[in-house]
Structure 1
Amino acid sequence: MCRYWRAAVTLQYSLLGEPLIRARDVSGGQPIKYNLPRLFVALAHDEVRDFPALRPHQRHPWHAFLVQLAAMALHRAGQDQSFASEQAWRDALLALTPEHPDGAPWCLIAPHDKPAFMQAPVPDGRTSDWKNILYTPDELDMLVTSKNHDLKAARMRQAEPDDWLMGLISLQTQEGFLGAGNYGISRMNGGFANRPALGVVPKGYWGRRWQRDVAALLNHRAEIAEHIGLRVQNGIQLLWLPAWTGDDSLAFSSLDPFYIEICRRIRLILLGGSRSIGAIAKGSKAARVEAEERKGITGDAWMPVDTAAGKALTITSKGFDYQLAAELVFGNKFQRPSAQILDVTDGTEGVVVLAQGITRGQGKTEGYHERRIPVSPKVRMLLMQKPSDLSATIAGERIDAISKIRSVLWTAMATLFDQGAVKDRFSDSAKNKANEFIRSFEQAEDARFFDELNAEIESDDPGGARLQWLLSMADRAEVVLRNAFITGPQSSEQRYRAQSAALSRLHGGLRSDKTLPTLANYYRHLTANKENAHEPV
């Protein structure tokens, strides 16, 4: 088995000096490598298209890290505009770690009694009892990869330094509780919760969003500090700077409003005396931050807060389905985080609300979820008015309409699978089969929900747009039912009876005033017009 090198450790892999961060530019996707200061200059000019080392579940942690770090550096320097040069950014970042002029806190590898990037100092530098050795960055990464659920672990054998960088940030800023000694972050509602994120994304690339979110943090800094109970001045900013024995926690009230946290005792190492990176880990007896009573309300710029329940949002395995997404964007249940608040500088075209998050469970993951919610010009105008009752009302009515048609379709499906029996109590087998087919209908409506919603709000004839949507949804429901015929009864007599009864249930339900009066009224007039057309002159 490969062992790690225990000789004297020197500073290596400096994010301030070495071009360790792989990216591609916006002009032709050409590869380019950045150090951190130079990356900030490129982001300020919106020159970065993407980061090859970045995996989907790491996108928000990386974005949040870049925003929080830039915002605290600018605030410390008394600036509200991005620095123009690489040297200015380097000086500003070093100013965040004045007790370490050698730049150790910005190096992936440093002596263990010193802070290294995202790695708290070990008292006396002794790690001889740190037995857990990790050989790949995906082993280091959070639960979603380390337990072989969504991605296979320990496969990144030819890893680059920025693979370790992304894995380290992912672990330290979005991991939860994973058994004794493995505590989670403060910015979520409990150890088995998650850190979802919502924010406005204007038209552009990585840098455009980075710029607007840095400005949002700076604009809301005093408000965050006052409402959340954090320090306006002299708060702890980078939580990997103070030494950590593993026995104690930092007081939440001692932190800066933009604090970047760590949750695990990790040290990156060199394997076998080479420049190949590995990691060692050791558990702790306490969380890094004493914030359990906060329930995830920490001033996180991307975290919605359930105001009535007094806790941060936690997403389920459904992710950001149309019901939750509509509530988050248009409703009043959640307090919008600062990054989700629209600004006039966001422009009017191509604006979306981006929702991201990993659903965590006890010892498992239930998927990475990401949704882009388009914001049309009129919707943008309504959202900038407080409150936006019109858009919330329309969204609520549409959710109700989908629910009602879904209910009618489900009854028709259950009728089909119960061989056309006319009853309201169905067999378990019929109900289970109906549930399977109904998912395809709801998933399709989910996918088009916000495009159709925007179309109604933007329309000069919103009533007509609503009716056309209801009619097309009714047609789609019938298509789903007919597609289920192949799974229903197959003997000739039973097939005819089951299919006929199912269609009758669907059409009767759609034409009932108890379902959707607007739809029922349309069908009633349509029938009357057809009858009048056939009356003898």
Structure 2
Amino acid sequence: MTLQYNLLDEPLIRTRLIANGQPRAYSLPGLLVALVHDEIRDFPALRPHQRHPWHAFLVQLAAMALHRLGADEPFRTEGEWKAALLDLTPDHPDGAAWCLVAPHDRPAFMQAPVPNGNVDAWKNVIHAADELDMLVTSKNHDLKSARMRQAKVDDWLMALISLQTQEGFLGAGNYGISRMFGGFANRPAIGIVPKGDWGQRWKRDVRTLLANRASVVEHHGLQDKDGVGLLWLEVWSGESSRSFASLDPFYIEICRRVRLTLGDHNQAIFAITTGSKSARIAADQRNGMTGDPWTPINTVEGKALSISSRGFDYRLAAELMFGAKFTRPIAQIPVTSDGAKGLEVLAQGVTRGKGKTEGYHERRIPISPTVHKMLLQQQRDRLAKVAEERVQAIGQMAYLLRNSVITLFDGGKQRSNPSDIPESTNKKAAALIKSFEQGEDARFFNALNDEIESETPDEVHLRWLLSMAERAEVVLISAFTAGPQACEQRYRARAAALSRFHAGLRNSKALPVLANHLRQPSIDKEPAHEHA
């Protein structure tokens, strides 16, 4: 078998350019030059759940290559990048480790060499690129699998990186990556995105990794020199694991034994896979705390963050942004070179479970200039206080709305024992509360930024409370059509629900700021007109 599809020389990676939206394909060194100049708008082969693995790969690879050659800024020519990448694979000067297809006893891109090149016992054959991908596509949960039978080379490239750098445990012989807490967890990512496109974020994160390398080495017991960085270079029989302490801090791992090959007469690419008796990296005891530049660490529980089916909802996002529960990853730490305008925090992750997935989650959190300044100065106390007050207020409003909706659906009854409420009533109320919370979630950080930026934050906070009360009442009134319709019962149920809602708004134990405002007699401060 000869070397095929060499990423160092062949323009195999499809892109669209920022300048005119036109397509252009690059080799890997050519792509890195384009990222230096921030010329790339997007990648046609890249699927949403593959975005972070691709970004992380490009950043870790560049940082590793630059550090090895003692450079602190990205190279600006293809020749320099090609030489740097080959320098990462000195035992393979012909570029085999950067080819998608190579003899099985040699490394191929993201594919470990097989002992003696013998794959006769590898029985699992995969003909579609998306079928090779991680669980999110391979089991028909979120995306239909095996649709890419006419896949381009970079479809296989993206699927391979996705599988090898974010897959978890999937039964005996199918172990997951080291950079997550347990086999059924996930590899979430959170980091600052400066104004610009793919290249701007890439350059920022490359510099961040280089600036924090020594700290990662010290805190995680990794190798500053001569550590293993590209896990696909070594022969892997599947019988043993590589020691975590032997790794480079920017290591790019693989978790599965897979080889790409070609059909008869060098026709279409297909993959063959087999299991292993151990994980590629021995890191079970680390609980996902590996120095990953984008993964928050739960300092209370001593483990890497793993998101649930709720994704990055406003509660978790506020805690990740401003709270004390998590240690923020280095990619999330602001620096002065970020600039003050157009900044966002990007959170991404695929929720995994036992043999299933619960979706891809992505959230962009705007950072206002004042918030950025406070984060730079590590003045998180006020930010955390404002965020927590808002989280609690939304929770209180949702609770009040739920009780009012239940009163409506229950015909105006005031049951003393919540267990007496019919299950069907609880379910209908829960659906409405969910829609209310989703609306508040969507505006949470924009509204928070408004308060932080204002010279009269108390007034801004009060206006937000009043507008939230109005939105909650709109939800309650919209439920009238689903409540009792018989004439007398209808009026009783609606009146009781509205009465409970308005009384709750004036309860100083629940929402004291709003309650004190509404109880002032001199001005009509009702959040909305009452409806009969």
Common fold by TM > 0.5: yes
Mapped to 2, the partners of 1:173 and 1:117 lie a distance apart of 13
Establish whether residue 517 from structure 1 lines up as the match of residue 499 from structure 2: no
In the superposition, the TM-score normalised over structure 2's length comes to 0.97
- Asked if 1:490 is matched to 2:480, the reply is no
Correspondence for 2:291: 299
**Aligned amino acid, residue 154 of structure 1:** A
Partner in structure 2 of residue 323 of structure 1? 315
The equivalent of 1:428 in structure 2 is 423
Matches within 5 A, 1:38-57: 38-57=30-49
Shift of 1:493: 1.1
- Between 188-197 and 489-498, the greater mean CA deviation after superposition: 489-498
Q: How does 1:325-474 map to 2 (within 5 A)?
A: 325-424=317-416, 425=418, 426-474=421-469
* 1-structure distance, mates of 2:427, 2:133: 38
Quote the Cα distance in structure 1 between the aligned partners of 2:206 and 2:324: 25
| AA at the equivalent of 2:101 | I
Overall identity of the aligned pairs, in %:
63
Residue 366 of structure 1 aligns to a residue whose secondary structure is: strand
Looking at structure 2, the residues matched to 361 and 84 of structure 1 have their Cα atoms a distance apart, in angstroms, of: 43
- Distance in 2 between residues matched to 1:368 and 1:277, nearest whole Å: 27
Measure, in 1, the Cα distance between the counterparts of 2:316 and 2:193: 19
Q: Which amino acid is the alignment partner of residue 453 of structure 1?
A: L
Pair 1:240-2:240 in alignment: no
Deviations 1:296-350 (A, max 9, x none): 0000000000112110000000000000000001111111111001011111111
Three-state SS of the structure 2 residue aligned to 1:421 is: coil
Letter in 1 for 2:39: E
Map of 1:100-115 to 2, 5 A cutoff?
100-115=92-107
Q: Does 1:528 align with 2:522?
A: yes
Q: Which amino acid counterpart does residue 514 of structure 1 have in structure 2?
A: K
SS at match of 2:207: helix
Which of 486, 491, 498 is 1:503 aligned to? 498
- Kindly report structure 1 stretches of 4+ aligned residues shifted beyond 4 Å: none
Q: Does 1:28 align with 2:20?
A: yes
Aligned partner of 1:275 in structure 2 is 267
> Matched residues in 2 for 1:85 and 1:443: separation?
47
CA separation in 1, counterparts of 2:190 and 2:51?
12
Q: Offset at 1:395? A: 0.2
The normalised TM-score by structure 1 is: 0.96
Aligned to 1:6: none
| 1:496–1:103 CA distance, 2 compared to 1 (3 A) | same
Which residue matches 2:8? 16
How far off its partner does 1:157 sit? 1.5
Q: Which runs of 5+ in 1 are unaligned?
A: 1-8, 532-537
Shift of 1:274: 2.6
For 2:530, the equivalent position in structure 1 comes to none
How far is the alpha carbon of 1:528 from its aligned partner? 3.3
Shift of 1:530: 5.5
Q: State the Cα distance separating 1:236 from its structure 2 match.
A: 0.3
Query: Structure 1 CA distance, aligned partners of 2:431 and 2:73?
Result: 53
Q: What amino acid sits opposite 1:319 in the alignment? A: G
Q: Against the structure 1 CA distance between its residues 517 and 72, is the aligned structure 2 distance closer, same or farther, given a 3 Å change threshold?
A: same
Q: Give 1:365 shift.
A: 0.2
- 2:120 is aligned with 1:128: yes
1:29 partner SS = coil
Shift of residue 386, structure 1, vs aligned partner: 2.0
- Count matched residues: 522
Aligned residue runs from structure 1 range 25-174, under 5 A: 25-174=17-166
Distance 1:501 1:272 in 2: 75
Task: Tell me how far 1:275 sits from its aligned partner.
Answer: 3.3
Q: Distance in 2 between matches of 1:317 and 1:147?
A: 17
Which stretch shifts more, 273-282 or 397-406? 273-282
The CA deviation at 1:521 is 1.4
Find the aligned partners of 2:524 and 2:41 in 1 and give their Cα distance: 57
* Distance in 1, Cα, partners of 2:223 & 2:407: 62
Shift in Å, 1:404: 0.8
Cross-structure match for 1:3: none
Q: Secondary structure at the match of 1:485?
A: helix
**1:429 positional shift:** 2.4
Alignment partners' CA distance in 1, 2:518 and 2:181: 49
* Superposition deviation, residue 387 in structure 1: 4.3
Q: Secondary structure at the match of 1:269?
A: strand
Post-superposition shift, 1:428?
Answer: 2.3
Query: 1 CA distance for matches of 2:167 and 2:76?
Result: 34
What amino acid maps onto 2:115 in structure 1? P
Q: In structure 1, the residue corresponding to 2:445 is in which secondary structure? A: helix
User: Match of 2:252?
Assistant: 260
Segments of 5+ residues of structure 2 without an aligned counterpart are 526-532
